[in-house]
Amino acid sequence: MARDRDFVRLVEEWLRLAQADELVTRLQRGGATPVVTVRVDAEPPTGGVRRPDEGRPEDRPEGQDGVRYDDIRILWVDDHPANNVAYVRELEELGAEVVQAEDAVSAERMFARGAVDLLVSDFSRGLDSDAGLDALARWRERAIFTGPAVFFTGRVTPARERRCLELGARIATDGRSLRRHIDRACAEIRQSRA
């Protein structure tokens, strides 16, 4: 596994999280979050997806600076969802409803099923290094999704930065910047609802 760059990068990202010790303990005890995968030819499963109305907000943990994601629905698009388990679990523990899709077609099914407040995506899908950007451009053009978007990646290029700027998207390269961008997006979402 040490030769697998993606695996090593994932472990490094986990260890940079403020709650790394807690995550390692949970994983050792078998407390990993199940991955919910949406396929084009099937109804999306609901197991493992926390609904915003489960439990009382005062019984749920708070994140840094007391930030909570209650009533925020996040769509996370990544063709390797297992890489995001710890992040998804943290978002759910902070009150967000997180649904996942492995490709643009599955993501569009999720958009059709209900409002999505925030999109988190990777740039590439398979061999297409700009699939995430191209999908967001289509969704913006067709008004399928006009909300905030964050691309979570280990590699940023000037071309990707330009394209994100054009699409009104943010780029996160580690767990801390991902959380910062999600916090800002949630503040914007709540302000627009007020």
Confidence of residue 95 (pLDDT cuts 50, 70, 90): very high
The pLDDT of residue 20 is above 90: no
Confidence of residue 28 (pLDDT cuts 50, 70, 90): low
The percentage of the chain sitting over the pLDDT mark of 90, rounded to a whole number, equals 62
Nearest partner of 69 among 85, 89, 40, judged by Cα: 89
Determine the Cα–Cα distance for residues 35 and 184; give it in Å rounded to an integer: 26
The DSSP code for 177 is H
Nearest partner of 118 among 77, 63, 161, 57, judged by Cα: 77
Query: What pLDDT is stored for residue 14 in this prediction?
Result: 62
Phi, psi torsion values for 169, nearest 5 degrees: -110, 160
CA 65 to chain centroid: 20
Confidence of residue 164 (pLDDT cuts 50, 70, 90): very high
Helix extents (H) in the chain: 5-16, 20-28, 85-93, 104-113, 131-141, 158-167, 175-193
The CATH code of the domain at 5-193 is 3.40.50.2300
- Per the CB < 8 A criterion, the answer to whether 73 and 110 are in contact is no
Crossing angle (nearest 10°) for helices 175-193 and 85-93 = 40
> What 3-state DSSP class applies to 164?
helix
Query: What pLDDT is stored for residue 58 in this prediction?
Result: 43
Query: What pLDDT is stored for residue 57 in this prediction?
Result: 40
Q: What is the mean pLDDT of residues 107-135?
A: 95
Query: What pLDDT is stored for residue 155 in this prediction?
Result: 85
Query: What residue spans define the domains of the chain?
Result: 5-193
The model's pLDDT over 44-76, given as tens digits with 9 standing for 90+, comes to 333 333 333 334 444 445 555 668 999 999 999
- Per the CB < 8 A criterion, the answer to whether 86 and 136 are in contact is no
